[in-house]
Amino acid sequence: MRLAGKRALVTGAASGIGQAIAARLAADGAAVLTADRAPGTDVTLDVSAPESPAALITACQQQMGGLDILVANAGVSAFEMLEGHSDAVWNSTLSINLDSVFRLCREAIPLLKLSGQARIITIGSVMSTFGEAGMAAYAAAKHGVLGLTRAMAIELGPHGITANCIQPGAILTGITRPAFAANPAFGDYWVEKSALKRLGEPDDIAAVAAFLASNDSRFMTGATLVVDGGATAHP
């Protein structure tokens, strides 16, 4: 119960990593408000809609009386080769995966300042550090998430707010399951690439998020934790 008394907001919590993080934070004692554009969470909205950040922070204020832990997790994958890459896919990927993270964090600052010991946790990707063919928009957005996290850490540290990023490798979720099913060689590639010889599970990421949300990570900020089973430990 190391998060007893804490109040958390998790976006993209209807599936995969976000769902696991919300469950883990709750199991550790936090009050958790969940949001997603898919049904099944406390607040149903599209995080990239202009009114969503204010709506979410108002819900935190009204339903939990504040906010201590913000997990900006909602995201989409995009695969499109650069030659002929559509503006629409570029814009929607950047809008959901990067712009909405910036807007939600900005909106949350006044409540997080009141916490005294607040946590921002962003979900980047191994694509926050590397690139891949067909992943231009996704990699650009996830590199941006890491840069945003570091900048927030420096700016918000004096207010007792830490900001850290998690960079998952290949995790079995709603984003990846169809791709692995359609192309088993893709899954096999990631299993083989990982040192631990398996794909990740959402709970593997949730455990790290719970650590970053807790007092155990109190002297960490502007940091990034690669959670990929060792897939990127070698070239």
Ligand X SMILES: NC(=O)c1ccc[n+]([C@@H]2O[C@H](COP(=O)([O-])OP(=O)(O)OC[C@H]3O[C@@H](n4cnc5c(N)ncnc54)[C@H](O)[C@@H]3O)[C@@H](O)[C@H]2O)c1
Annotate each residue in 147-186 with x if it binds ligand X (CB under 6 A) or - if it does not, as one string. ---------------------x-xx-xxxx----------
Cβ count within 10 A of residue 123: 26
CA angle centred on 20, ends 9 and 7, rounded to 5°:
25
Does the protein bind ligand X through residue 89 (CB under 6 A)? no
Does the protein bind ligand X through residue 15 (CB under 6 A)? yes
Nearer to ligand X, 12 or 214 (CB): 12
Distance CA 210, CA 113 (A): 20
Q: Which of 138, 180, 190, 211 is an active site residue?
A: 138
Task: Enter the DSSP assignment of 158.
Answer: G
Annotate each residue in 26-65 with x if it binds ligand X (CB under 6 A) or - if it does not, as one string. ----------xxx-------xxx-----------------
Can 189 be counted among the known catalytic residues?
no
Between β-strands 69-72 and 224-227, what pairing exists: parallel, antiparallel or unpaired?
A: unpaired
Distance CA 4, CA 135 (A): 39
Distance CA 145, CA 128 (A): 7
Does the protein bind ligand X through residue 93 (CB under 6 A)? no
Positions touching ligand X (CB under 6 A) are: 12, 14-18, 36-38, 46-48, 73-76, 96, 123, 125, 168, 170-171, 173-176
